[in-house]
């Protein structure tokens, strides 16, 4: 019985590291959506970088992911480059 309890505890602590990373990504995406909602205007990449305290690539990946899920849309720029993103979904 003790061995089973110990294995369950170890599994809870160390068994779901990938899921914790995915959850962190999800929470960062939520924060971007909250920022857009609060500003009530399109946000720029630099604003997301400063708000999340992350790099250019990470911020771009998060914004692209939200765009793919139809929660945000690109504003300005051409087909391969966006200057800002607008919130179009719901939180």
> What are the domain boundaries of the chain?
19-87
Q: Looking at the structure, give the CATH architecture of the domain made up of residues 19-87.
A: Orthogonal Bundle (1.10)
Per DSSP, 43 falls in state B
pLDDT digits (tens, 9 = 90+) for 8-34: 877 777 765 555 544 455 789 989 999
Residues 6+ apart with CB under 8 A from 37: 87, 91
Q: What is the pLDDT of residue 21?
A: 47
Q: What is the pLDDT of residue 47?
A: 96
Q: What is the dihedral of CA 83, 67, 55, 19, to 10 degrees?
A: 170
β-strand partners of 73: 86
What's the pTM value of the predicted model, to 2 decimals? 0.68
Q: What is the pLDDT of residue 23?
A: 46
CA–CA gap between residue 14 and residue 12 (Å, rounded): 6
Question: Does 40 score more than 60 pLDDT?
Answer: yes
């Amino acid at each position: 019985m003790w061995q089973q309890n110990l294995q369950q505890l170890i599994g809870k602590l160390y068994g779901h590291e990938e899921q914790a990373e995915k959850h962190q990504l999800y929470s960062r995406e939520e924060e971007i959506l909250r920022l857009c909602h609060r500003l009530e205007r399109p946000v720029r990449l630099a604003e997301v970088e400063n708000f999340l305290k992350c790099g250019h690539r990470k911020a771009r990946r998060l914004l692209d992911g939200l765009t793919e899920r139809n929660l945000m849309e690109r504003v300005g720029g051409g087909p391969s480059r966006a200057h800002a993103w607008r919130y179009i979904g719901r939180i």
